[in-house]
Amino acid sequence: MSVRFENVSFRYPGGTGGVFDIDLEIATGELLAVIGPSGSGKSTLLKLLSGFAVPDTGRILVDGRDVTRLPPHERALGVVFQSYALFPHMSLWRNVAYPLKVRKIAKKERRARALDALARVGLADFAERAPPSLSGGQQQRVALARALVFSPRALLLDEPLSALDASLRNDLRDEIVRVQRGAGIATLHVTHDQEEALSMGDRVAVMHAGRLVQVAKPRELYDRPLNRTVAAFVGHANLWPGVVEAAGRVGTPLGLLACDTTGFANGAQVTVLARPEAVQPLAELPNASRPNVFYGLVNADRFLGAQRRCDLEVGSGIVRIETTIRTAIHAVSIPPEAIRLLPPDSTASQNPAHTGKPS
C-alpha cells in the first residue's frame, strides 16, 4: 500500500505552471504532508495521483502497479476534498455506502459497513440524516468515512481542514490522524497550513515553483531547513542576509554575529536563520560580556495570549522575538547555537532591505 512518483513532470497547457522532476515515495501507513505557497504545484501533485491530470513524463505507482494512465474511477484511492462534497440527495449512510454500491456489494452488507465506518468517526447516530443538516466538521468526518469505507490503496487529503473554523481544526487534525493510523494506508495530505503539516505529517514535503525543495521529518525540516525558501515557509523565522567575515563571525544588518560557520568560506554570502522563540529578550544590556547581545527598540508588540510576538529594531535589521515574558524589552541575545547559516538566496541579496522583516 505504497505510493511512488517516479520522475514525474506535468505542465499546464498554455501556462508555465505545473510540477517538475518529482521523485517521491510514501510508505505504507505513512502520512506525508505537502506544503507550499499557492501555485507551488502541491494541488497538481494530488490531481496527478488521483487521475484528474496525466503526467507528461514519468510514472506513478500505487502498490507497485503503474496507474499513470488509469482514469480516476479505476484507481481505488480515497480522496477527501476541501468542500466535503457530500451528495446532497443521499442520507449519510448512503453517502458512505456509495463506493460500495458502485462495487456492486449487496445492500445489507453495504449498510452494515457504512454504519461501521460512520461509527469510527463518531457519527453512528446520524446515519439517516441529510448532509446539509450537519456542521462543516461533521460533514468532513463523513467524507473521511466515505473515502475509507472501500479500503482504498491510498488516502488523499486535499486541504481537508481549510474550510473549517479554527477551533474545530485541531480536533479534526487528531481525528484524521487517528483514523488514518487505524486504516494503516499511505496518505498524501496537501495543505497550505504549515502548522497542520508539522503536527500531522510523518514527513513533510515543501514545494516551491513546481519542485520538491525538501522532504524531511517535521523536526528536521524546522531545525535544519535546506534553504531560505524552506526556512521562511516552515514556521516563523528571522532571516538576515550575511557575509562570513572570519571563522565563526558573520556580518549582518544587526552587526557582527558569532556562530558556527563550518562549510562556508570567508567572504561567502549567506542567509542567517534564527527562530524567534530561540532568541532571548533582555530587559537591559547585561554588564557581563555575552556573545550576540544587541540593544534595540521595540517597534511592534503583539500580545497573543499564550505568548507575545515583538519586532525589535537592531541596527538596520529587525529581530523577531516570540516570548512568554511580559516585561519591557530593550535588548536581545541570540545564542550562537540557535543560529544556522543557509546558502545565499538570490532574491534576498537583490533586495536586502526586505529581509529580516516579518514576512
Partner 1 sequence: MLATVLYLLFLIAPIALLALGSVGQSWTNTLLPSGLTGEWYAQLAADPSFQRAFLTSLKVVAATCVLNTLIAVPLAYAIHASARRGAKAAARILTLLPIATPELVLGFGFILVFSSDTLPWLGSIWLLIAAHLVVTLPYLINILLADMAHLKLDELERVAATLGAPFSSRFIDIVLPLLRHSLLSGLITVSAISIGEFQISNLIAGFLTRTYPITLLQAFYGATGFACAATIVLLVLAILASAAGALTARAARAG
CB of 3 to partner 1, least distance (A): 15
Q: Which is nearer to partner 1, 5 or 98 (CB)?
A: 98
Quick check: 144 and 80 in contact, CB under 8 A? yes
CB of 79 to partner 1, least distance (A): 4
Strands (E), 12-159: 18-26, 31-35, 57-62, 65-66, 77-80, 154-158
Chain mean position to CA 307: 22
Cα-based distances in Å from 323 to 9, 112, 174, 230, 276: 43, 52, 27, 23, 8
CA distance 160 to 61: 24
CB of 72 to partner 1, least distance (A): 4
Q: Which is nearer to partner 1, 84 or 294 (CB)?
A: 84
Q: With the CA atoms of 190, 192, 196 and 202 taken in that order, what torsion angle do they form, in degrees rounded to the nearest 10?
A: 40
Q: Which residues contact 34 (CB under 8 A, 6 or more apart)?
A: 42, 45, 46, 188, 189, 190, 191, 197, 204, 205, 207
In the range 61-120, which residues lie near partner 1 by CB under 8 A? 71-79, 81, 83, 85, 87-89, 98-99, 101-103
CB of 56 to partner 1, least distance (A): 17
Residue 124 within binding range of partner 1, rule CB under 8 A = no
In the range 146-185, which residues lie near partner 1 by CB under 8 A? 146-147, 150, 156
CB atoms under 10 Å from CB of 324, counted, come to: 9
C-alpha cell at 258: 558569532
Count of residues in contact with partner 1, rule CB under 8 A: 27
Q: Which is nearer to partner 1, 95 or 292 (CB)?
A: 95
Torsions phi, psi for 179 (to 5 deg): -65, -40
- Cα–Cα nearest to 148, from 225, 79, 207, 198: 79
Q: Which of 40, 50, 139, 187 binds partner 1 (CB under 8 A)?
A: 50
Provide the sign of the torsion angle of the four alpha carbons 215, 217, 221, 224, taken in this order. Answer: negative
CB of 61 to partner 1, least distance (A): 18
CB of 107 to partner 1, least distance (A): 14
CA distance 211 to 30: 21
CB of 147 to partner 1, least distance (A): 8
CB atoms under 10 Å from CB of 129, counted, come to: 15
Q: Which is nearer to partner 1, 12 or 295 (CB)?
A: 12
CB of 335 to partner 1, least distance (A): 49
Q: Which is nearer to partner 1, 87 or 303 (CB)?
A: 87
Q: Which is nearer to partner 1, 3 or 231 (CB)?
A: 3
What residues make contact with partner 1 under the rule CB under 8 A?
50-52, 71-79, 81, 83, 85, 87-89, 98-99, 101-103, 146-147, 150, 156
